[in-house]
Amino acid sequence: MSDPLRPRASLRTAVVWEVLRDALDRRVKAAGRDALEVLDTGGGSGKFAVPLARLGHRVTVVDPSPNALFALERRAAEAGVADLVRGVQGDAHGLFDVVERDGYDLVLCHGVLEYVEDPAESVRNAVAALRPSGTLSLLAAGLGGAVLARALAGHFTEARQALADPAGQWGAGDPLTRRFTAEQLSGLVTDAGLAVTAVHGVRVFADLVPGVLVDAEPGAIDALLRLEAAAAEVPAFHSVATQLHVLAERG
């Protein structure tokens, strides 16, 4: 769901929303219900959870950060969907201390695997939270995109370090614990028993294009959004995307 008031922000999320919108439509038809049960593990302040609730779905957000949960509560209230959004303090490893297994039509795990101790366990837990016919939406930092971004910023040693490091870290100051290739993310999902239904590259160009080129030219943001949407589908661009999105269902 792109936000017309925040066009630059929509550049970062448009591809994911496009994929999610289709997945939601399919899941609503399959479930025979308009309101789905959604779990957003590591959902933070509700960047995805609140728009999902605005579509009428019931969303449970699990996050270890009290500040994020406070911001979530405020964001949900401002959007008029406080009754559809539930924030719970917890984490991806101890997920079933706070939510039930087999309870959700859609589980989101967006921007979390980069931080957790054991990504495989986090994905297994996300899958175990799904109803038998549920859908998993996984979004995580891409390795190649980080290498390209460090190199284009002139940080050549860091770019080479990220390339050589098994976790894809560019150095001691790197805020992320790890990054992934499309194959690694797909492997985590299939190892957890799901079938991958789509892989998309997210932010292939958006983070690399100087802001002045996007802001100066009328229509440039729309054209860039269309380019991102087209490149997201092409496997060759997955290896240079800032993020990778994997959609998966039970096979």
Binding site for ligand SAM (CB under 6 A): 41-44, 47-48, 63-65, 68, 91-93, 110-112, 115-116
- At closest approach, how far in Å is the CB of 240 from ligand SAM? 20
The alpha carbon of 133 is separated from its chain's Cα centroid by a whole number of angstroms, namely 20
User: What are the residues facing 154 on neighbouring strands?
Assistant: none
- At closest approach, how far in Å is the CB of 135 from ligand SAM? 16
Nearer to ligand SAM by Cβ, of 103 and 111: the residue is: 111
CA dihedral 109, 206, 11, 108 (to 10 degrees): -10
- At closest approach, how far in Å is the CB of 62 from ligand SAM? 6
Nearer to ligand SAM by Cβ, of 160 and 207: the residue is: 207
- At closest approach, how far in Å is the CB of 69 from ligand SAM? 9
Cβ atoms of 119 and 188 closer than 8 Å: yes
Nearer to ligand SAM by Cβ, of 16 and 196: the residue is: 16
Nearer to ligand SAM by Cβ, of 154 and 173: the residue is: 173
- At closest approach, how far in Å is the CB of 66 from ligand SAM? 9
For 32-59, the DSSP string reads T-SSPEEEEET-TT-TTHHHHHHTT-EE
Strand order in the sheet with 130-141: 85-89, 58-63, 37-41, 104-110, 130-141, 243-250, 194-202
User: Which residues are within 8 A (CB) of 218 and not within 5 positions of it... i.e. 6 or more apart?
Assistant: none
Number of Cβ atoms within 10 Å of the Cβ of 173: 7
Nearer to ligand SAM by Cβ, of 94 and 171: the residue is: 94
H helices of the chain, in order, are 7-31, 49-54, 66-78, 95-98, 119-128, 143-152, 156-164, 182-191, 211-216, 220-232, 235-238
User: What are the residues facing 141 on neighbouring strands?
Assistant: 243
Nearer to ligand SAM by Cβ, of 7 and 111: the residue is: 111
- At closest approach, how far in Å is the CB of 172 from ligand SAM? 20
- At closest approach, how far in Å is the CB of 110 from ligand SAM? 4
Nearer to ligand SAM by Cβ, of 116 and 123: the residue is: 116
